[in-house]
Amino acid sequence: MKNLYLLLAVVGAIVPWIFFADQIRAEGLDLGAFVRALFANGAAGGFSADLLISSLVFWIFMASARTPRIWIYVLLNLAIGLSCALPAYLYARARSQPAVGPHAAGPGNGGRNGGRIDDPA
């Protein structure tokens, strides 16, 4: 799963910036125009409100979990979006957790062969 999270973080960084680039090309770096565009109609406003609330929940969750280097994920969230920040967080979290599954060293194999099941000990 961790490689999928990494891939989704990269995709989640690229796709929003395709749209942001169009907005910047059309309006320049005008923050007021950007905010107006976020709430230009009911559909855009609904998506924007959903992402703002989801981002707040994500930040509260990370703070309550005492996430190390939380600032990295908040910065990704603010600079790119939740579509990058959340999978980046999940990737980092999966990387820091011990391996599980058939390839993990565990009881019954004494840790031999790194727990590989394709190579008899």
Q: Would you place residue 118 in the very low, low, confident or very high pLDDT band (cuts 50, 70, 90)?
A: very low
Q: Would you place residue 64 in the very low, low, confident or very high pLDDT band (cuts 50, 70, 90)?
A: very high
| Whether residue 115 has pLDDT greater than 50 | no
Digit-coded pLDDT (tens) for 11-44? 999 999 999 999 999 999 999 999 999 999 999 9
How distant, in Å, are the alpha carbons of 3, 17, 60, 79, 83 from that of 10?
11, 11, 23, 14, 9
Rounded Cα distance, 17 and 34, in Å: 13
Query: How far does CA 76 lie from the centroid of its chain?
Result: 8
Q: What is the mean pLDDT of residues 53-65?
A: 98
Q: What is the mean pLDDT of the chain?
A: 87
pTM, entire model: 0.76
Nearest CA-CA partner of 22 in 43, 4, 37, 40: 37
Q: What is the mean pLDDT of residues 55-75?
A: 97
What are the extents of the domains in the chain?
2-97
How many other C-beta atoms can be found within 10 angstroms of the C-beta atom of residue 24? 14
8 Å CB contact between 83 and 58: no
